[in-house]
Amino acid sequence: MNLVEWDLGNVSHGITWGGVDEAGRGAWAGPVVAACAVLDHPTIKKWRHVLEDVRDSKKLSPARREVLASELKSMLPAYSVAEVDNLGIDRENILEATFMAMRGAVSQLAVKPRILFVDGNQAPKTGLPERLLVEGDATSCAVACASILAKTHRDEIMRRMGDHYEGYDFGRHKGYGTARHREALLELGPCAIHRISFSPVISAQKPSEEVRDFLRQSLEKCDSVVELHCWVDVHLRPAYGKLKLVWVETLRRRYATLLTRLVAGEEGLG
């Protein structure tokens, strides 16, 4: 049975359903990305000739994935893509970050499905009825559509990161643990988009106490909520690869304390 037939055999006529999948969970750098693709019977009827070509994104060539992603975006009743960056992954852990991305993708849908087919064996708890499918991207057409959308979205991010962070070849390996990536890590150390809670990254770290001290001092100088938010983007993110995870956690706690104090002060002034 092909993927389209599986979906049709597992939803009642008139029901709108969705597929959820992620990309980048095992990478050492960059975000984890989740997508939700919505299907219904009229879409299957009209676009079956396209949907019959949908497969697990890993089984498609990059060029074919890109073509299918473009076609899916124009014909699906609804779709959405969400990301959790490396800071969020290190803060929450990769499993919870993946679930956050999945919940984000579902929450942004313009059309809410009646049921979701979710790739994996653990529920992201989106608030909609969920059916878990191990190897769902090789089972359900909707999940395979989501797989393609998530993969192409993340690949484009990593291509841009490859242009920005020279020497890591992100455009080639997309942040996954290849031999070339390991060589770059050992030579250059982690950069701003690496996941510093992942063992291969930790082993290649070249932490800087000078950078840590600068971040502490610059954080203490923030006098407003706006300045705190700017501190994250202007100071923390660019320096992230030079920090130990324990330092980041200490900075995060201090940030939270200052944020609470400044919000209370601004509300009092209001």
Same domain, 153 and 23: yes
CA distance 61 to 47: 21
Q: How far, rounded to the nearest angstrom, does the alpha carbon of residue 27 sit from its chain's CA centroid? A: 11
Q: In what order do the strands lie in the sheet with 130-133?
A: 78-84, 32-39, 17-23, 115-119, 130-133
Same domain, 144 and 57: yes
Residue percentage of the chain with pLDDT more than 70: 98
| pLDDT tens figures, 187-228 | 999 999 999 999 999 999 999 999 999 999 999 999 999 999
Same domain, 152 and 222: no
Tell me, yes or no, whether 188 lies in a domain: no
Instruction: Choose among 18, 11, 30: nearest CA to 171.
Output: 30
CA separation (Å) from 88 to 47, 53, 84, 149, 243?
Answer: 37, 34, 6, 21, 15
Q: Give the torsion sign (CA, 28, 122, 97, 165).
A: positive
| pLDDT tens figures, 112-166 | 999 999 999 999 999 999 999 999 999 999 999 999 999 999 999 999 999 999 9
Instruction: Choose among 15, 266, 234, 55: nearest CA to 148.
Output: 55
CATH number at residue 139: 3.30.420.10
pTM > 0.85: yes
Domains identified in the chain, total number: 2
Domain range for 110 is: 3-161
Q: Specify the amino acid at residue 38.
A: V
